[in-house]
Structure 1
């Protein structure tokens, strides 16, 4: 699955000069504990905001996540929550469980052209996480939820802001993502799309609508081994 086209894979990417990566559950393994930690902090934030228990709020948290792309967007629109305070709170997590990924760093470094991170999280979270992985120095820029004016993937406006502000030509770019619906607009705009799945045999806790099949028409390539996929391209 990680290299479905063998030696012909490079030809399909020969036009690419901009490599765009989602952060959470894409640049680090989906079995890592970072996203569950963030998810728990989101619940705790809402508990303090509404004064309700976690069980009562989980459904609302996931409703906002599905409807608006992020729970934050829902809280901003429906409850006028201050975004900066929310982002600082939910991303205040221990990242020490992540180790430097030297193979990933070498694979990204070997790619020709610009490397960017496109995330629904904050720049601080992306920088801290990439630094923990040992890959922060490889990226030209990070386009975060603040740069997107708090409009989250998969909304088309989020990508339009990304293309415009970072001067990205979709037709010469590729996006690596772990959530299929976040690849729909990029594919429509001409980006090459790569869906990153959990490694074979790994059980990952996800929402039902997040579970990817890999056969979605807006997904050009599928891999369960990001490093292996990138190493092929780097060659």
Structure 2
């Protein structure tokens, strides 16, 4: 149950989820689509950006103690859960077993799992927050990067992969968006300001935009 870099760098509430991103996609990289339509994986673009990758490397050093502590505790918790899982399985396999008879074992297992998850969340809290901060810094420029890539590739419509049934490889312009993100966000800080919370910058941007709109009569 070792916590991988991918796990540690996946915040519970992705800053990307709060972004207002076009419902769409990118243009072909190797060839021009006749319909000027392309696909792009926005989350992958953020993760593949140089700013994000550099931040990951920095976090492995800066938060090494947190990561090591999380991994060690995760391994220990797995060992602690094993006998509870075995007890539950044994109870289920007994003749006449039903929901009532296995309830004590099921409750013990569930309680241990929940407390373990909460403990691990506390141990990796700084890493989770730092990751969300990096994601937000890069994600705030995602729309601009998509628009720039669409203009360069002469694409009119961009779709996300899950919205596509079939496509040719050349219509994926995720890497083109990555190139634009690298220009717009060359670096990202892994140290959130005091009191910072995920989605904060997006909320402030939306409030600022709303304040600039003329009020109706």
TM-score normalised to structure 1 length? 0.27
Q: For the pair shown, which has the larger CA radius of gyration, 1 or 2? A: 2
Point out which structure has higher relative CO (alpha carbons under 8 A, 6+ apart): 2
Question: When you count strand as a share of all residues, which structure comes out higher?
Answer: 1
